[in-house]
Amino acid sequence: MKWPAIVLVIALVASYVMLEYTSQQRLQSSKRYQNDQTALRDAQMRFQRSGDERQTVSHYLQNYRQLEKLGFVGQEQRLNWVEGLRAANEKAGLFGVDYQIGAQEPFPYLAKGDPLGDRVRRSYMKVALGLVHEEDLMRFFGALAAQRPGIYTLNGCSMDRVTKESAPAARQRNLTANCELSWITIDPGKAAK
């Protein structure tokens, strides 16, 4: 009876060791499976988000390209502004345009903490025009808008008579208009602070 008892004990110990080993292997496999499942879900979510982002980008890409074309997105195109002012002057039939364009500065009307930060910039501009009558000013700004030299806001204009003693004539400068504008651009490559 001694040998069968020893064999039985050895078989029980071996069975216990094998059971523990397979249990540990099962636990490790279960953990790996859970980690793989989590990684798979994360990858599926990233894939879904990339699809959503791709759809969003493709949806707004045409509008973005339009803003680039208008000169709002990207670096200032000062030559386009000068050409736009010159063409608007000719189209409105005025006597020439004098202008000053200041250096770029942060756009002052963004809310504090705005995510656009200092990416939105403006250049302060002054424009002086000789006019026959008041309506010429609106015709000039209509022609300037048609030229699409960029995005701007008209801050204000003042008009003065050229000569106060003589009566207005049909084709001479009767008024001088001085206008202030803010030319607005956004730099997509500049990091917000």
Say if residue 1's pLDDT is above 80: no
- Report pLDDT digits (tens) over 37-75: 999 999 999 888 888 888 888 888 888 888 888 888 888
Query: Residue 158 and residue 102: Cα distance in Å, rounded?
Result: 19
Closest by CA position to 148, among listed 75, 62, 74, 85? 85
**The token pair that represents 3 in the structure block:** 């040998």
Does the domain at 78-186 match CATH 3.30.70.60? Answer given as yes
Query: Residue 139 and residue 87: Cα distance in Å, rounded?
Result: 12
Q: Identify the weakest region by mean pLDDT among 14-23, 45-54, 93-102.
A: 45-54
pTM of the model: 0.62
Where along the chain do its domains lie?
1-70, 78-186
Query: Residue 183 and residue 101: Cα distance in Å, rounded?
Result: 9
Query: Residue 77 and residue 32: Cα distance in Å, rounded?
Result: 57
